[in-house]
């Protein structure tokens, strides 16, 4: 009888541990997914603001200002990608980019990343 109680206790503990592990993993995955979605939304918002500014410049006939904003945005994105590729060996992402823009990977590996540099947006004349 005593050994039966111990057996049930051990089975209960093992099942409890497995259930806790499963529930914790499921909760963590759900939170990570929401966090990633939130970060992507923030990035999309930042890009939209930039597009709005470029659109407004073009709409107001400020081609030079639009081009300087566009140049800034492109350089910023290049530095973000280059910084990542120069610091990480991510073959999956590298293959993804090579498939869509075969020449970009070589550029990213040699791109000068300088987060201290400043960009100047041309005024609308």
Chain centroid, CA 88 distance in Å: 14
Query: Which tokens belong to 90?
Result: 């991510």
Residue in 115, 43, 45, 106 with CA at minimum distance from that of residue 79 = 115
Parse the chain into domains and list their residue ranges: 41-125
- The DSSP letter of residue 103 is T
Is residue 21's pLDDT more than 90? no
Q: What is the mean pLDDT of residues 86-109?
A: 91
CA atoms of 86 and 83, how far apart (whole Å): 5
* Entry pTM: 0.67
pLDDT single digits (tens) 47-82? 999 999 999 999 999 999 999 999 999 999 999 999
What phi-psi label fits residue 36: left (phi over 0), alpha (psi between -120 and 50 degrees) or beta?
alpha
């Amino acid at each position: 009888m005593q050994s039966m109680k111990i057996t049930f206790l051990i089975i209960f503990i093992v099942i409890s541990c497995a259930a806790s592990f499963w529930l914790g993993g499921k909760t963590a995955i759900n939170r990570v997914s929401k966090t990633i979605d939130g970060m992507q939304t923030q990035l999309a918002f930042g890009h939209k603001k930039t597009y709005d500014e470029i659109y407004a410049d073009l709409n107001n006939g400020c081609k030079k200002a639009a081009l300087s904003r566009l140049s800034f945005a492109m350089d910023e994105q290049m530095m973000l990608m280059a910084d990542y590729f120069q610091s990480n060996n991510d073959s999956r992402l590298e293959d993804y980019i090579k498939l869509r823009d075969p020449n970009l990977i070589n550029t990213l590996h040699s791109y000068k990343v300088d987060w201290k540099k400043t960009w100047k947006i041309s005024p609308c004349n």
